[in-house]
Chains A and B, each alone.
Chain A
Amino acid sequence: MRAFHLILALAALLLATPSARADDDFSTALRALNADSYADKIAAAEALAALGEGRAAPILDALADGRLYVTPDGAILIEQAGTYLEPLSQKIVTTDKAEAITVNNRLRGVARGAAGRLALFSPNAQARGAAVEAIMNSPSDEAADMVRAALAKESDATIKALMVTALASLDLSSDNAGHRLAAVTQLADSSDPSVRSQIQRLLETETDLQVRKVAEKTLGSIEFRVTLMGFVANLFQGLSLGSVLLLAAIGLAVTFGVMGVINMAHGEMIMLGAYTTFAVQQGFRAFLPADLIDLYLVAALPAAFLVTALVGMGLERGIIRFLYGRPLETMLATWGISLVLQQVVRQIFGASNMEVANPSWMTGGWDLAGGFTLTYNRVVIILFCLAVLGGLAALLRWSSFGLHMRAVTQNRPMASAMGIPTGRVDAMTFGLGSGIAGIAGVALSQIGNVSPNLGQGYIVDSFMVVVFGGVGSLWGTLVGAVSLGVVNKFLEPYAGAMLGKILVLVFIILFIQKRPRGLFALKGRSVES
């Protein structure tokens, strides 16, 4: 008789499909949410979560929000903007007899935490990653079990690696010394600062000698890697800032070197370049097929160069050439120009920030260890800046215009006596310097806001680059920009952004006491004005 019963039971088990069985468990756990006491409800919520099914997450969320209703016959419904959703069938139900399931703060907390952990089983990889990180921030034993369960199902390699690390750091607080040892060994390859602090916390309480020894070694290697990553991150950010400074300063260096005048409107040329980029982008959006939008940046480069070069040449011919020999007045006049240009742009485009989108090939980045990302737009700008520098150096070195420019830089009266049309060289130089500023504006539009004040933010910094590097020297500008950028970024963690900047300014002011003509001063008999 007993055997018969057993066979019957086995047959029933075989007949019942696994999913039907899971559905059964799920709906039982679901109905249990409508318990009488909060303690029972909490137990039910935990049981529901323990099934490890992603579809439980919205239910638990609804429970925490007080949007979970129950009908007189015990069916659980999710209220959504006045309608009811049956969570198992995903059907809309109409009823007027449903009552809300009451929640208290503790239940709400449990439901939220459980829903968060359930995101581990979400079909969306990003949500799974976020869930793992959330769990790492509030470790518990059941969380470790859930991660273990999720790990078995995980297919995405990055998330899998993340889960392994998470599991290891959860195991750090395990009571089993073997688990802790395994975890510490597992974590030796990490370069995450949060892992470092976890191991430090472990070392404070650890009694097992073997675990201590391994943990100390792990800590050492993690610390080394974190320091290294920090160094690389600082270096990259410094190079990135330096490349931006170089782009902003290089046109200024050219005009200052050749003409001896400071163009206070240089920042506004950058701003005009950025607005040209914006206009080109809008033109692409309005008139060209959508799949060409990624190319707008390529079109914006020559457009920005042309617009700003023409504006620059117009200013030189119209205003600045009447002020030669009076550099201080030139400075004031160009400041006036900068005010007018800012206001013109403000009148046309408005005072608010304009949105310039990165083309798709510039969005994203390489994720390096330790939560540090090399963003594509910054990398592109560093490369672009080197290309501009190289192009300019080639122009100066090999073209006849470059030869004339160099001659005028070294000795204007002598160059003039040799038949070089200094007036035309001046106009072309001013156009070139402004055009490069326009290109810089294209680059800056990709990493920051485009607003009428865009240029103002760069003007003091780019002056400093020119003064520090030395006037009329591309090398000086390069070295000046990169070293200022890198020094700034390395000072930032210790001194804060503002103080770092102040220290750099003070340093430059002191530096030019020693070398009034900058790092790479022009040698030769250029006459003191």
Chain B
Amino acid sequence: MHSLSHLFLNPGDRRFWAGFTALGVLFLLLVPALNLLLPADSALHVPNYMVTLIGKYLCYAILAMAMNLVWGYCGVLSLGHGAFFALGGYAIGMYMMRSIGARGVYGNADLPDFMVFLNWKELPWYWLGFDHFWFAALMVMAIPGALAFVFGWLAFRSRINGVYLSIVTQAMTYALMLAFFRNEMGFGGNNGLTDFKDILGFDLSQDATKMGLYLLTTLVLGATFLLVRFVTASKLGRVMMAVRDAESRVRFLGYSVTGVKLFAFTLSAVLAGIAGALYVPQVGIINPSEFSPANSIEIAIWVAVGGRGTLLGPVLGAFAVNGAKTWLTGAAPELWLFALGALFILVTLALPKGLVGLWAGLRARVTEKSND
């Protein structure tokens, strides 16, 4: 029971659990309550679109945590995480396409609309199985995981690291983007997958379904949070951080650097896939532009803004950057790229530890002052 008491008694841990519970109450209880219980004209009322918007941010937060696991804790800057996110999204999108059945524009029960449009006669083999939710849910994790495993095994084994790895992962997502743009691939080409009707029988246009998806995303984010905490607190997590800080030394000590990186990369890809699968039902579309290299680089900036190598940082960063994006693209669209670009420069130059680091620095200074 040592580890349990350790978890609860350490003052840092107590703070963690307090924060975790507070965030859980905020997202799990307060937001739904403000949405459902308050009248629509109340100043505190959270409108439906806002619930979906927060749900989207929560998906981004999961994605940022996944990125943080591999970059913040293991030092591997993947610029292809958008690909894993998109693959997860496509997997669930395929399930939702199949569940449209004969309700499409062409009313064809056997084929999705875009295949009818392309004059295809039968379902390609890789669409088989996506009629079942359990299969799609498995694929949401298995496809990004398998791709990351194979790709990572090839890359880490031959010691491709640093900027090389970043470039190669960027090429990977770029290649996937080009591939998914092709109509012949059978994933809807340019338009991607859309016009979803329902998921597991729940009508996607209903507010209750949206609320359900939102709550599910919150729970998954909480679970991801605990998982990342568990992994990074474990011995494996310690080795991961050692790989980040001094890779050669870890290798000389006899650890399998390849194995550690591969574990972090694959787990991270699986988490990114899950984030994508939660994202697509909420936004109602998945198309190849999700694979674009720019998207993947943006994930890195969420993590950097929040603070990499910290538990809370990625969540903070994902909310801060995307909140700013939503607000600025509405208020002054031409300024958004300036702001994003400046953010990249500012964070790397002045805030290497992100918002969390800034907060910790301020706290340290305050305690120092009070000690004087």
The docked-state distance in angstroms from the alpha carbon of A332 to that of B77 is 10
User: Are A262 and B304 touching (Cβ within 8 A)?
Assistant: no
Query: If A332-B344, A460-B174 touch, does A512 touch B158 (CB 8 Å cutoff)?
Result: yes
User: Are A340 and B167 touching (Cβ within 8 A)?
Assistant: no
- Nearest CB in chain B: distance from A87 CB, A: 50
User: Are B345 and A512 touching (Cβ within 8 A)?
Assistant: no
Q: Does B343 contact A (CB under 8 A)?
A: yes
Q: Nearest CB to that of B350 among chain A residues?
A: A322
Residues of A near B158 (CB, < 8 A) are: 512-514, 516
CB<8 Å pairs between A and B, sample of 24: A260-B163, A262-B163, A264-B297, A319-B345, A328-B166, A329-B352, A333-B348, A336-B301, A336-B341, A336-B348, A338-B341, A339-B337, A340-B345, A343-B334, A346-B337, A464-B171, A467-B164, A498-B181, A501-B175, A501-B178, A502-B178, A502-B179, A505-B171, A512-B160
Residues of A near B157 (CB, < 8 A) are: 513
* Option from A330, A342, A509 in Cβ contact (under 8 Å) with B171: A509
Query: If A328-B162, A333-B349 touch, does A499 touch B182 (CB 8 Å cutoff)?
Result: yes
The docked-state distance in angstroms from the alpha carbon of A264 to that of B170 is 12
Residues of B near A8 (CB, < 8 A) are: none
Q: Does B293 contact A (CB under 8 A)?
A: yes
The docked-state distance in angstroms from the alpha carbon of A286 to that of B154 is 57
User: Are B155 and A343 touching (Cβ within 8 A)?
Assistant: no
Query: If A331-B166, A335-B297, A499-B182 touch, does A509 touch B172 (CB 8 Å cutoff)?
Result: yes
Q: Which residues of A come within 8 Å of B, CB atoms? A: 260-262, 264, 319, 322-323, 326-333, 335-340, 342-343, 346-347, 456, 460, 463-464, 467, 496, 498-499, 501-502, 505-506, 508-510, 512-514, 516, 528-529
Residues of A near B348 (CB, < 8 A) are: 323, 326, 329-330, 332-333, 336
Residues of A near B345 (CB, < 8 A) are: 319, 333, 336-337, 340
Given contacts A337-B341, A343-B334, 17 further A-B contacts (CB under 8 A): A262-B163, A264-B297, A319-B345, A328-B166, A330-B348, A331-B166, A336-B340, A338-B341, A340-B341, A340-B342, A347-B334, A460-B171, A498-B179, A505-B175, A505-B178, A510-B154, A513-B155
- Nearest CB in chain A: distance from B322 CB, A: 16
Residues of B near A338 (CB, < 8 A) are: 341
User: Chain A contact residues: over half helix, strand or loop, or mixed?
Assistant: helix
The docked-state distance in angstroms from the alpha carbon of A506 to that of B154 is 12
User: What 1/0 mask marks residues of chain B from 326 to 364 whose CB sits below 8 Å from any chain A CB?
Assistant: 000000001001101111110111001000000000000
User: Are A509 and B343 touching (Cβ within 8 A)?
Assistant: no
The interface centre, meaning the residue of B160, B179, B337 with most chain A CB atoms within 10 A of its CB, is B337
User: Are A467 and B341 touching (Cβ within 8 A)?
Assistant: no
Q: Does B159 contact A (CB under 8 A)?
A: yes
User: Are B171 and A508 touching (Cβ within 8 A)?
Assistant: yes
Q: Does B242 contact A (CB under 8 A)?
A: no
User: What 1/0 mask marks residues of chain B from 134 to 172 whose CB sits below 8 Å from any chain A CB?
Assistant: 000000000000000001001101111011101110111
Residues of A near B269 (CB, < 8 A) are: none
Query: If A261-B163, A327-B162 touch, does A505 touch B174 (CB 8 Å cutoff)?
Result: yes
Query: If A335-B344, A501-B178, A513-B155 touch, does A340 touch B163 (CB 8 Å cutoff)?
Result: no
Residues of A near B297 (CB, < 8 A) are: 264, 332, 335
User: Are B334 and A319 touching (Cβ within 8 A)?
Assistant: no
* Option from A331, A337, A509 in Cβ contact (under 8 Å) with B163: A331
- Nearest CB in chain B: distance from A492 CB, A: 13
Q: Nearest CB to that of A256 among chain B residues?
A: B163
- Nearest CB in chain A: distance from B158 CB, A: 5
